[in-house]
Amino acid sequence: MVVGVLLTLAVSACKTAEQQNEISTEPRTHATAVPSVSRAGGTQAVYDSLVAAGTMQATFAGGCFWCMEPVFDVVPGVIATISGYTGGSKPNPTYDEVSSGRTGHAEAMVVFFDPSKVDYATLLDLYWRNIDPLTRDRQFCDGGTQYRAAIFAHDAEQRRMADSSKQALIASRRFSEPIVTEIEDATTFTVAEEYHQDFYQKEPEHYAAYKQGCRRDQRLKEVWGEKK
């Protein structure tokens, strides 16, 4: 499909398109994944297995979850990234319900990681540099509380580190505007529909057009400067 047409279709937000051609629903985990994890039941089974195994988690919201997974997937020590919904009150929300902005949930991503290979501080730094911390209830072209930027801490140490990282950014005086990224305690995480998992791999043209249309890379450059 011509990219110009894709831009027109994709820029309207992180939209579902499950009526399109059927795509693979087999979840992806990394070479470092826990060997006992079974893929037979899809992403929900992977999530349940990793949680049951006590695998370390970091949960971040940074706008459309399609764009957050690839950032962390390349990090050595990251076992799996799974998109979902958290931070609201409605049990077992669907994508359409979260998109309404009435559930209190944010599109988010849980990162399962091996702390002997990558620490939480490194994941925090990577998170900050891949969001716009200066906009409230919005990331790039997507607006609404469901697209808010937030760090969801799983324990007191993660909360302390997240708070410290935010305060360090404020103290650096890097930005003339206030940092509005929220830091919350992690609550129930609902795994998103299979269509959204690893979307950048399943639908690379749609993903590229969406990301380009949202000017995500351009805004990150404006906020953080050139990548080192």
Identify the structural domains of the chain with CATH numbers, from first to last: 29-224 (3.30.1060.10)
Instruction: Give me the average pLDDT of each 10-residue run along the chain (228 residues).
Output: 37 46 36 40 92 98 91 96 96 95 96 98 97 92 91 98 97 94 97 93 90 89 82
Each residue of 76-101: b (16+ CB within 10 Å) or e?
Answer: ebbbbbbbbbbbbeeeebebebbbee
pLDDT value of residue 226? 75
Closest CA to 209 of 5, 57, 25, 53: 5
DSSP tag of 154: S
**Active-site residue among 14, 64, 141, 214?**
64
pLDDT value of residue 101? 93
Closest CA to 129 of 117, 141, 121: 121
pLDDT value of residue 76? 97
pLDDT value of residue 207? 87
Say whether 139 sits in a helix, a strand or coil: strand
214 has catalytic annotation: no
pLDDT value of residue 153? 98
